[in-house]
Amino acid sequence: MSRQIVMPFGPQHPVLPEPIHLDLVLEDETGVDGMLSIGYLHGGLETLVEKRQFPEYVYIAERTCGICSFIHGMTYCQGIERVMGLEVPERAHYLRTIWSEYSRLHSHLLWLGLFADSMGFENLFMNAWKHREFVLDVMEETTGGRVIQGSCKVGGVRRDIDQETLKKMERDLKGFEKGLKEMANVFLNDDSVASRLRGVGVLSRNDAYVCGAVGPTGRGSGVPIDARMTGYAAYGELDFSPVVEQDGDCYARCAVRVNELFSSIEIIRQSIDRIPGGEIEVKVKGNPDGEYFSRSEQPRGELVHYVKGNGTKYLARSRIRTPTLTNIPPLVKMLQGCELADVPVIVLSIDPCIGCMER
């Protein structure tokens, strides 16, 4: 048996988009154990509920993450609406669904680009981000913000999308989908990608369950958890099923995300077809008093916003449990017994968002 060494990895590392520090215990080139520490980005956003009134906290909740910001805002609003017993109009639900799915497209494309970069496929990285630009343009056209949409509010949404724009969005999706298919072909069928990803960082189904993996990390290991199936917003009225892969390696996680791109496009199409007319918000009266665990599916997995009101304009507690936090134990499991050269790919395969995780 050879000597064990501890190698620091991160927080500044060329392939890591975000600051996470790993202490890798290595035996020659093989990782025996990996332990991580975080805390470079902790900002204490959750405590700001005591300083900001609950309608303004939406802006803070949204800025928890720069990538899935809309879903953060929406989940927080859902929680408050449930505590206050507000009935949000159907049209607002559909608009929220459309924006959520655009967020998912945006996040997955960003991730696919970074992932390609982490395995040294620069060309594919640029290509993925080119497609992402289309999504950002639609976002800016309809909400006014490219990454921070700011279009969700307690009781509904701030902006409506008129019928003409919706039709145009649906038409534009066709060309976008064609470009995506071409890119997906590279991710799923190219041998240079497959040989880099197959059998790397395997997470068995049982480990995924015990460690509490959520989102594409869990679904890549065959655990069919998708919070969209609870039917929040308009998801209960749309036809879709979670994308599940069985292998549990980096390739499976990548395949889940690639296939989810197309399922998102399908959900957007359905929502645009079925969107009802009418109001987009209800008036909010009074203050929240009560508690609720609001759940939704982020691109990275299940998100929980716990809100607790005490009958004043300031909430007593908001807890944001982001999917990355739950996906850290599976990451520690995956790092046990991996090759040193595979560490960047494995770390990226859970789509870590440290900004979300530490809040």
Residues 202, 328, 338, 348: which binds other proteins (CB under 8 A)?
328
Residues 93-112: x where in contact with other proteins by CB under 8 A, - otherwise, as a string: x-------------------
CA–CA separation, 68 and 353 (whole Å): 10
Q: Which of residues 61-90 bind other proteins (CB under 8 A)?
A: 63, 82, 88
Minimum distance of other proteins from residue 325's CB (angstroms): 6
CA–CA gap between residue 171 and residue 290 (Å, rounded) = 44
Closest separation between CB of residue 183 and other proteins, Å?
Answer: 7
**Residues within window 140-199 making contact with other proteins, judged by CB under 8 A:** 140-145, 148, 150, 158-159, 182-183, 185-186, 189-192
Contact 147, 136 (CB under 8 A): yes
* Single-letter code of the amino acid located at 255: A
Q: Minimum distance from CB of 60 to other proteins (Å)?
A: 6
Q: Report in angstroms how near the CB of residue 8 gets to other proteins at its nearest.
A: 14
Contact call for residues 106 and 139 (beta carbons, < 8 A): yes
Closest distance of CB 217 from other proteins, Å: 11
- Rounded CA gap, 53 and 309, in Å? 11
Give the DSSP letter of residue 280.
S
Q: What are the backbone angles phi and psi of residue 170, rounded to the nearest 5°?
A: -65, -40
Q: Which of 98, 201, 231, 74 is nearest to 150 (CA)?
A: 74
Q: Which is nearer to other proteins, 4 or 37 (CB)?
A: 37
Nearer to other proteins by Cβ, of 42 and 274: the residue is 42
Q: What are phi and psi of 221, to 5 degrees?
A: -100, 15
Residues in CB range of 288: below 8 A, 6 or more apart: 54, 80, 83, 84, 307, 309, 311, 315
Rounded Cα distance between 359 and 212, Å, is 20
Site string for other proteins, 44-63 (x = CB under 8 A): x-xxx-xxxx--xx-xx--x
> Smaller CB distance to other proteins: residue 62 or 342?
62
Options 107-115, 135-143, 169-177, 266-274: segment touching other proteins (CB under 8 A):
135-143
Q: Which of 177, 329, 337, 340 binds other proteins (CB under 8 A)?
A: 329
Burial pattern 112-138, b for ≥16 Cβ within 10 A else e, equals bbbbbbbbebeebbebbbebbebbbeb
Q: Exactly one of 3, 14, 123, 171 binds other proteins (CB under 8 A); which one? A: 123
Site for other proteins in 247-286 (CB under 8 A): none
User: Six-digit token pair at 175?
Assistant: 């060309």
Return the structure tokens found at 147: 């990454």
For position 37 contacting other proteins by CB under 8 A, the verdict is yes
**Nearest distance, CB of residue 87 and other proteins, angstroms:** 9
Residue span binding other proteins (CB under 8 A) among the ranges 243-251, 269-277, 291-299, 341-349: 291-299
Binding test (CB under 8 A) with other proteins, winner from 65, 166, 261, 325 = 325
Which listed residue (176, 240, 262, 306) binds other proteins by CB under 8 A?
306
The smaller minimum CB distance to other proteins, of residues 60 and 200, is found at 60
How much is the CA Rg of the chain, to the nearest whole Å? 20
Question: For residues 45 and 358, is the Cβ–Cβ distance under 8 A?
Answer: no
- How many chain residues bind other proteins (CB under 8 A)? 80
Q: Enumerate residues 220-249 that contact other proteins by CB under 8 A.
A: 225, 229-234, 236
Binding residue for other proteins (CB under 8 A) from 282, 316, 339, 340? 316
- Considering only 64, 69, 127, 259, the residue that binds other proteins (CB under 8 A) is 127
CB 176 within 8 A of CB 161: no
Q: Nearest-CA neighbor of 359 among 18, 46, 19?
A: 46
